[in-house]
Amino acid sequence: MTFQTRFTELVGVRHPVMQGGMMWVGRAELASAVSNAGGLGVITALTQPTPDDLRREIERCRSLTDKPFGVNLTILPSVTPPPYAEYRKAIIESGIKVVETAGARPQEHVEEFKSHGVIVIHKCTSVRHAISAEKMGVDVVSIDGFECAGHPGEDDVPGLVLIPAAADKISIPMLASGGFGDGRGLAAALALGADGINMGTRFCATVEAPIHEAVKQFLVENDERATNLIFRKFRNTGRVAKNSVSDNVVAISSVPDAAFDDVRPLVAGAKGRVALETGDLDAGLIWAGQVQGLIHDVPTCKHLIERIVADAKVTIGGRLAGLLKPEGLPV
């Protein structure tokens, strides 16, 4: 017996657990492992240098799993944006049935995906954005609380409030994201009105994650305080793990007349990739959320998902059910 929700029914997975898109991490080996374990694995499109490389990565994932998996397409603000339309075309022509979109002004992409029968999951960081996404025609909203890694928006609303607030306002399926890493979190997400959870940082600390072992152990050793909020001054807040680089970014940004160009050399994505691939923890930014405080081991994706689901069942059917007593009887 497992949890059956609107999300599991819509995308055809066994467990209400999704692996979100992560730059440099969302590759075929991780996505396939999550999907084989009964969740929804996700390839990150822009990790691949070209749309043709993405096509090959999709085929590589298909060689590793016969279960559903998706592709993330994040629309980033840039002076020289990548060829989003070509990546989108590669996703559609490769027969992908589920896409996670994120970022600003996704309507063009959502409309094109929907016209080809693709299920669209859109990541939001506020209730108003979730409402807009539903109106836009997305199938699922992934609502990102302030605890999350990456860009939590500028409202600073944690999941305990944001998830039920969104659930009150939208009618489509919703995933809870940001701060989830164990069965208690899944049980809480379901209780708050979500149809499943979307995890990023927790999946980085798994056997199949294609990053250096030193980074995985770094996540295990950190606690919930081991993050920095960067880019606050520039209204593009990002949550990353504490290291010398992010400490430096915070320090430079605190100068009254600081500009983004002052930190640009430190935050280049290529440097973050070096950190992930070489294990040099001070080579660049390492994106991670407050859920680090709940990460205590590096299991396989199968073990992790099965443990999360089993512990959620115990939480709901055991601990919580056991608190209910008939009125009028001794406690």
The reported pLDDT for the residue numbered 329 is: 62
Q: Which structure tokens are listed for 291?
A: 């859920």
Q: What mean pLDDT do residues 320-330 have? A: 82
Q: Which structure tokens are listed for 159?
A: 């999941």
The SS3 call for residue 71 is strand
Our count of domains for the chain comes to 1
Alpha helices per DSSP H over the chain: 6-11, 28-36, 51-64, 84-93, 107-115, 127-136, 159-167, 183-191, 201-204, 213-221, 244-253, 260-263, 269-278, 301-314, 321-323
Q: Is residue 259 part of a domain?
A: no
- The percent of residues in the chain predicted with pLDDT above 90, rounded, is 93
Mind listing the pLDDT tens digit for each residue in 18-44?
999 999 999 999 999 999 999 999 999
Q: What mean pLDDT do residues 212-219 have? A: 98
> Cβ distance 191 to 199 under 8 Å?
no
Question: From CA 143, how far away is CA 123, in angstroms rounded?
Answer: 6
Identify any residues that bridge with 43 across adjacent strands, giving them in sequence order: 71
Q: Which structure tokens are listed for 190?
A: 């379901």
Of the pLDDT bands very low, low, confident and very high (cuts 50, 70, 90), residue 330 is low
The reported pLDDT for the residue numbered 331 is: 56
Burial class (CB in 10 A: 0-12, 13-18, 19+), 80: exposed
Q: Does residue 319 or residue 203 have the better pLDDT?
A: 203
Question: From CA 205, how far away is CA 55, in angstroms rounded?
Answer: 26
Q: Is residue 107 part of a domain?
A: yes
Q: Is residue 40 part of a domain?
A: yes
Question: From CA 186, how far away is CA 2, in angstroms rounded?
Answer: 12
Q: Is residue 191 part of a domain?
A: yes
Question: From CA 69, how far away is CA 19, in angstroms rounded?
Answer: 10
The reported pLDDT for the residue numbered 79 is: 73
For 293, residues 6+ apart whose C-beta sits below 8 A from its C-beta are 222, 223, 224, 225, 226
Mind listing the pLDDT tens digit for each residue in 109-129?
999 999 999 999 999 999 999
Report the CATH number at residue 94: 3.20.20.70
For 90, residues 6+ apart whose C-beta sits below 8 A from its C-beta are 45, 51, 52, 54, 55, 58
Question: From CA 33, how far away is CA 40, in angstroms rounded?
Answer: 9
Among 129, 118, 15, residue whose Cα is nearest residue 72 = 118
Of the pLDDT bands very low, low, confident and very high (cuts 50, 70, 90), residue 105 is confident
The residue behind tokens 């009105």 is 193
Q: Is residue 258 part of a domain?
A: no
Mind listing the pLDDT tens digit for each residue in 123-164?
999 999 999 999 999 999 999 999 999 999 999 999 999 999
Among 198, 256, 289, residue whose Cα is nearest residue 11 = 198
The residue behind tokens 């919580």 is 320
Of the pLDDT bands very low, low, confident and very high (cuts 50, 70, 90), residue 325 is confident
Q: What mean pLDDT do residues 252-257 have? A: 94
The residue behind tokens 């840039």 is 78
Burial class (CB in 10 A: 0-12, 13-18, 19+), 64: middle
Question: From CA 298, how far away is CA 207, in angstroms rounded?
Answer: 6
Structural domain containing residue 23 = 6-211
DSSP conformational letter for 266: G
Question: From CA 320, how far away is CA 330, in angstroms rounded?
Answer: 18
Mean pLDDT for all residues in the chain: 96
Q: Is residue 157 part of a domain?
A: yes
Q: Is residue 150 part of a domain?
A: yes
Q: Is residue 178 part of a domain?
A: yes
- Which range has the worst mean pLDDT, 34-48, 75-89, 168-182, 239-253? 75-89
The reported pLDDT for the residue numbered 323 is: 92
Among 122, 173, 181, residue whose Cα is nearest residue 149 = 181
Residue 168 in this model has a pLDDT that exceeds 90: yes
